[in-house]
Chains A and B, each alone.
Chain A
Amino acid sequence: MRMVGMSASPLFHSARTGSGGDEMFAPDGTVHPTYQALHDALSGLGTEEFRSRSDSLARSYLDQGITFDYAGEERPFPIDAIPRVVAAEEWTRVSAGVGQRVRALERFLDDLYNDQAAIADGVIPAELVTSSTYVVDAMRGYSPPNGVRIHISGIDLVRDGAGDFRVLEDNVRTPSGVSYVLSNRRAMAQGFPELFADRPVRRVGEYPGRLLSALQAAAPDTAGEETTVVVLTPGRYNSAYFEHSLLARTMGVDLVEASDLVERGERIYMRTTAGLRRVDVIYKRTDDDFLDPEVFRPDSALGVPGLVRAILAGNVVVANAIGNGIGDDKLTYTYVPDLIRYYLSEEPILPNVDTWRLEEPDSLAEVLDRLDELVVKPVDGSGGKGIVIGPAASRKELEALRERLIADPRGWIAQPVVQLSTIPTLVEEGPEPRHVDLRPFALNSGDDVWVLPGGLTRVALPRGEMIVNSSRGGGSKDTWVLAPERDAAAGPAAQAQAQAQEDEGIEDPMDDSYDEFEDPREEQAEERAPEPDPVTSAIPIIDVEETPHDAQ
């Protein structure tokens, strides 16, 4: 069997392992239809050509400074040159499911900071809120001008044993990684332009324009004046600084640090070379705790004193809203399917991963009993911090964990080990299956939740590793969402679909404007004002009298 594999496709010979859960190869070694075109195109390149182009991708990331901060050192973010492909029909479901989740979480946060009806109606226990360190008392009673608190979200998905997407966690505070979606696509289009020829891949480049629109839509009333949006970064030593800078640059707005901002009379201003200038919307990429020392940490020199007062006075909007942490608390996560039913009267489109709440005594007992086969996560952790994977942990680690769980059951949840799907990924010996997850990004403008067709596929590079975070040696893959087939059979449904796909941008690496992140097209259409009367046509460029009359 290996011989057959080798002669047919030397590039992928060690990627066909015959095990289940691979997105490119079925257990019998055949290629899944979604990946067929990509597989053939990559195989056609040959191992040597593929590897040399992969190396140039890494080199170009270093040159461009596409890095993340690892232990005080700038490292190139590893990009794997074998893309992930998601079929059009499956994406429709993902997109709807992510949008549904964001809408439910919006309702939940609004409810929680105001009426708390979900508690009164018994959908969630009061302890969920009273025991959370993420509820910010100062924000009680606050409602943002356009009602949006989750302007930007990233919902992490994994495939379960049956190959279906499930939600692993929600990120509604400061989800990061979208810059890699944009950079990966650009790098792939430059390094492997011919791969895009076979299948229509949906574009991701309109994200910055959409983000700016969503942020502008969130602005307080500026009495007709132009809205000023800024991105707030903790500074260039932050691990996601590259992303902060890219987003500011591609939106064309200022990237500020807290020390650039100042509060005067419950308004926020930035310090410019011409004095103070009012700021209306702040896309914050810092933790809540370091935003305003008046409210959070009086001992902290970081932050903008008075920022929260300015927000409550309705003069500035911070995105995402302060206090969203309760929305992606991992204990809240366990209630999200109920919240969807309660607020939206819909059935959840994307299921959760089965989860035990350890504060329930029966669950705690069961989890303690099966600690060596479960994954245990702290409710407030991010970036893979604090996660203990039972089967991989030592006896000593499990003992220590047991004590921590008993001492603080509210602080932990447990899940069965999800066998994440794999995708062939280039490692030292050639492409081998490696585990992946997916983070789609959603933008809420108030009128609509838009899900970026793509998202960040993170891949765990060490063999067998299940945690995909870059802080744990994770890399990423370009994620291709295929556009629906154009030559579908005629019929009312197909026509509707064809209409819908008019609105979907298709990736074209040969397009001249490729290097720019484009604006959303509907906005361009809106801004096209009627042409003024062509007065200049009355003034000829060349005076008729002076034109030569050679022809006569």
Chain B
Amino acid sequence: MMLSRIADAMFWIGRYVERADQTARILDVKLQSITEDTPEDFAEACRDVYQIFGVEQTDESDHSVQRVLDRLLTDRANPSSVAGALFTARENARGVREVLSTEVWESLNTTTLGLPRGVRPSRMHGAFQFAKDRCAVVNGLVDASMTRDEAWLFLRIGQLLERVDMLARNLQDHDLEDSSSAATVTLLRSCSAHEAYIRSYRGRVRSARSIEFLLLDSIFPRSAVHCLGEIDEALETLAKLHGNSFDRLGAAEPARRIVGRALASLRFRSLDDIVENFDEEMEQLQMVTGAVTRALGTTYFHPAH
């Protein structure tokens, strides 16, 4: 039992920290690859990067690595940039300090104090590394210092939902036709899955198997199926905390139905079936995030009195 407003804020702290982390990971890999390879169609490559983060409108002046950094790394006013997401997470945390552990608050606060206002392409890797390290510190402290109460569950659900969402965006951007190992490695690295994949399958990376790994692997902590499974568990614990312990169907709550369907749909279909209409599938996976957020809103954040 906690204040609805605070539950809402915890959920968004989870989402924004994860968004900053994922954005930094994806940009780190994509921008490095653009800088190294200088693709023929440079503008197209930049547009692709913007697209992952939902930035549709770009003009010519935006098509440089520096501009991508300005808009998606250091822009504090844009909650979808690395800095903006961390600032938003910190603002949310400031409103709920009494439920966060002091360590978690301080790590978020010092993170925003340390964020650079501008980064040159030559220094971008260091800036991404800083953001990723700081997110790891925050997540580690959340893990090690917070009781597994409702507040933690909301934060955790937010984090996992955002992770699935970013994965779906990243996959949607991936060109399935390009089965070269370079493109596949880039995809795996931007999902922080390259090493895990190699350890699991050894040898050369294969395009189809990589997609399968990212979407369906049951024990890789960043795969869609793994995250959805964790969300379902967290939602179940939440329901129990609220005294709905005997839910025979396990589907009494709208959020659990949405998550469960997405999970079943991915897990019990063949990969061929999923990639048949891949763009659409990934679009739907992103819609899960919005639907779950709304469902949590009706059940917990703004319940009707």
List A residues at the B interface (Cβ < 8 Å): 62-65, 235-236, 241, 245-246, 248-249, 253-257, 259-260, 262, 270-277
> When the two chains form the complex, which single residue of A246, A259, A273, A277 contacts B7, counting CB atoms closer than 8 Å?
A273
Chain A residues with CB under 8 Å of B6's CB are 254
> When the two chains form the complex, which single residue of B4, B97, B106 contacts A272, counting CB atoms closer than 8 Å?
B4
Is B3's CB under 8 angstroms from A274's CB? Answer: no
Scan residues 238-264 of chain B and give those whose CB is less than 8 A from a CB of chain A.
242-243
Closest chain B CB from A273 CB (angstroms): 4
Can you list 16 A-B contacts with CB-CB less than 8 angstroms, sorted by A residue number?
Answer: A64-B102, A245-B94, A245-B98, A246-B97, A248-B98, A249-B102, A254-B2, A255-B97, A271-B4, A271-B303, A273-B4, A273-B150, A273-B300, A273-B301, A274-B242, A276-B305
Is A271's CB under 8 angstroms from B242's CB? Answer: no
Is B95's CB under 8 angstroms from A277's CB? Answer: no
Is A277's CB under 8 angstroms from B1's CB? Answer: yes
Tell me, yes or no, whether B110 is within 8 Å of chain A by CB: yes
Report if A245-B3 is in contact (Cβ < 8 Å); known contacts: A63-B109, A65-B106, A273-B300: no
Is B106's CB under 8 angstroms from A262's CB? Answer: no
Tell me, yes or no, whether B113 is within 8 Å of chain A by CB: yes
Is B3's CB under 8 angstroms from A270's CB? Answer: yes
**5 shortest interchain CB distances as A-B pairs:** A249-B98, A248-B98, A273-B300, A245-B97, A274-B1
**Bound Cα distance from A259 to B3, whole angstroms:** 11
List B residues at the A interface (Cβ < 8 Å): 1-7, 91, 94-95, 97-98, 102, 105-106, 109-110, 113, 150, 242-243, 300-301, 303, 305
Closest chain B CB from A263 CB (angstroms): 12
**Chain B contact residues: over half helix, strand or loop, or mixed?**
helix
Closest chain A CB from B234 CB (angstroms): 14
Chain A residues with CB under 8 Å of B110's CB are 63
Chain A residues with CB under 8 Å of B102's CB are 64, 249
Q: In the complex, what residue of chain B is closest to A271 when comparing beta carbons?
A: B4
Closest chain B CB from A328 CB (angstroms): 28
Is A262's CB under 8 angstroms from B94's CB? Answer: no
Is A65's CB under 8 angstroms from B2's CB? Answer: no
Is A256's CB under 8 angstroms from B3's CB? Answer: yes
Report if A259-B109 is in contact (Cβ < 8 Å); known contacts: A273-B150, A273-B303, A274-B242: no
**Bound Cα distance from A253 to B1, whole angstroms:** 12
Chain A residues with CB under 8 Å of B113's CB are 62-63
Chain A residues with CB under 8 Å of B150's CB are 273
Closest chain A CB from B253 CB (angstroms): 12
> When the two chains form the complex, which single residue of A271, A274, A275 contacts B5, counting CB atoms closer than 8 Å?
A271
Is A272's CB under 8 angstroms from B95's CB? Answer: no
Is A65's CB under 8 angstroms from B109's CB? Answer: yes
Is A273's CB under 8 angstroms from B94's CB? Answer: no
Is B98's CB under 8 angstroms from A254's CB? Answer: yes
Is A272's CB under 8 angstroms from B98's CB? Answer: no
**Bound Cα distance from A236 to B5, whole angstroms:** 13
Is A64's CB under 8 angstroms from B5's CB? Answer: no
Q: In the complex, what residue of chain A is closest to B243 when comparing beta carbons?
A: A274
Chain B residues with CB under 8 Å of A273's CB are 1-4, 7, 150, 242, 300-301, 303
Chain A residues with CB under 8 Å of B301's CB are 273
Closest chain A CB from B10 CB (angstroms): 10
> When the two chains form the complex, which single residue of A235, A249, A271 contacts B3, counting CB atoms closer than 8 Å?
A271
Chain B residues with CB under 8 Å of A260's CB are 3-5
**Bound Cα distance from A256 to B113, whole angstroms:** 27
Q: In the complex, what residue of chain B is closest to A60 when comparing beta carbons?
A: B106
Besides A64-B106, A271-B4, A273-B150, 16 new A-B residue pairs in contact (Cβ under 8 A), listed by A number = A63-B110, A63-B113, A64-B102, A65-B97, A236-B94, A245-B97, A254-B3, A259-B5, A260-B5, A271-B303, A272-B4, A273-B4, A273-B7, A273-B300, A273-B301, A274-B243
In the complex, which of the residues B95, B102, B150 has the most CB atoms of chain A within 10 Å of its own CB atom? B95
Is A272's CB under 8 angstroms from B94's CB? Answer: no
Chain A residues with CB under 8 Å of B5's CB are 257, 259-260, 271
